[in-house]
Amino acid sequence: MSLVDDLAAAGLTGRGGAAFSTAVKLRAARDHGAALIVNACDGEIGAAKDGFVVEHHLDELLHGAALVAGRNRGTRFAAHRGSRTAALLAAAGVDVLEAPDRYVSSEETSLVSLAQGGLARPMTKRRPFVTGGRDADGRTVRPTVVLNAETVWRIAQVDAFGPTWFRSFGTEAEPGPRLVTLAGAVAHPGVLETEAGVPFADLLTACGADPDAEHVVVGGLGGALLGVPDARECRWSSADLARLGASVGPGVVDVLDPARCPLDTVGRFLDHAAGETAGQCGPCMFGVPSLAAAWHRLTERPSGAAADEMRRVAGLLPGRGACRFPDGVSRFAGSALRTLEPHLAAHAAGPCPTQEVGAGVRRA
């Protein structure tokens, strides 16, 4: 069997968040002689797993990249400028594509633009850039395939151990070993090798999550805020998390500090998002800051009208930008609104319950 056939049999999907079939992507790349960019930026908030692959599995990563590139020369490895990952890649003698340390700079089309002499900003595409052609502004784009570093490492594993080994991990629909970054209010932050379908509660135990934690962000800024009791009822798989409006995404689990008001924490996430828009699309440039402002108005004076306004602004964002950044932020804000409804009601009725706990009234 060819590598593409093996990848199809293994059911490997991209580990960067989009979960698209790697076999389909690789077949298109081969058909069009696409250049390869290995994305090791860890662009999502809290993510560290691609840096982990570079640090601990570099030989396999390089082997995977060689398998993908075949006879095509010019493979580049993207990492944030000045990062440890960039330094490790440079020390290995590969061609490092250094991207600014901004959220959308490591988006797939941003890296294609950067590699071809443009700015690290998303490009509007008429069709996947793996086929080349022109972007919506008429710029010529050479065929390029962007694969996340964990995905390229998994390609090397499928090549070495075969599809049956790969499918011995995970679920039928989401096969294979996976990395997850565990962050936030945890005793053991870091990257864990796991698989889809494990009980979410096991992940919380493995990282030593604060026993008082009430909320967890799954999938970063493009993911969802969940209540810990709901998350504990789930398995860590996109199929199971879907009933809570979440997915595995880029593999980040961020436990919120129970000593901080979750409304403030969400406000910080949304303020961060407002500062990360690449300023190219009006709905994103104005819409994401408007969303953050609507959240602050809501949390300062919780009311049904303020919540409705928050939902209205969030509803304006999806499908309006050149990239999916505003879609993800809208989804995150919507999940925060649903999950924190009781907390908003408590704020409307009196002092913040978290601050009462923080003042010393710890739960038993």
List residues binding ligand SF4 (CB under 6 A): 104, 122, 277-281, 284-285, 321-323, 325-326
Check if the beta carbon of residue 170 is closer than 8 Å to that of residue 202.
no
DSSP letter assigned to residue 257: P
Report the alpha-carbon distance of residue 170 to residue 334 in Å, rounded: 29
User: How many C-beta atoms surround the C-beta of residue 4 within 10 A?
Assistant: 16
Check if the beta carbon of residue 106 is closer than 8 Å to that of residue 99.
yes
Comparison of 198 and 323: residue with beta carbon closer to ligand SF4: 323
CB of 109 to ligand SF4, least distance (A): 8
Region of 219 on the Ramachandran plot (φ > 0 left; ψ -120 to 50 alpha; else beta): left
Report the alpha-carbon distance of residue 176 to residue 190 in Å, rounded: 20
CB of 142 to ligand SF4, least distance (A): 20
Residue 39: what are its φ and ψ, rounded to 5°? -90, 110
Both tokens of residue 206? 């493995």
CB of 289 to ligand SF4, least distance (A): 11
Only one residue has tokens 């049904």, namely: 304
Comparison of 71 and 137: residue with beta carbon closer to ligand SF4: 137
CB of 241 to ligand SF4, least distance (A): 25
CB of 13 to ligand SF4, least distance (A): 23
Only one residue has tokens 């969303």, namely: 291
Residue 324: what are its φ and ψ, rounded to 5°? -95, 10
Comparison of 82 and 275: residue with beta carbon closer to ligand SF4: 275
Comparison of 77 and 295: residue with beta carbon closer to ligand SF4: 295
Q: End-to-end CA distance of the chain, in Å?
A: 59
Report the alpha-carbon distance of residue 76 to residue 173 in Å, rounded: 31
- Closest-by-Cβ residue to ligand SF4 is 321
CB of 277 to ligand SF4, least distance (A): 5
CB of 309 to ligand SF4, least distance (A): 21
Task: State the burial class of residue 138 (Cβ atoms within 10 Å of its Cβ: 0-12, 13-18, 19+).
Answer: exposed
Helix axes 282-300, 341-349, angle to 10 degrees: 50
Comparison of 104 and 182: residue with beta carbon closer to ligand SF4: 104
Check if the beta carbon of residue 332 is closer than 8 Å to that of residue 223.
yes
Comparison of 256 and 288: residue with beta carbon closer to ligand SF4: 288
User: How many C-beta atoms surround the C-beta of residue 193 within 10 A?
Assistant: 12
Both tokens of residue 42? 């860890």
Comparison of 70 and 275: residue with beta carbon closer to ligand SF4: 275
Comparison of 4 and 285: residue with beta carbon closer to ligand SF4: 285
CB of 146 to ligand SF4, least distance (A): 16
CB of 112 to ligand SF4, least distance (A): 13
Comparison of 122 and 128: residue with beta carbon closer to ligand SF4: 122
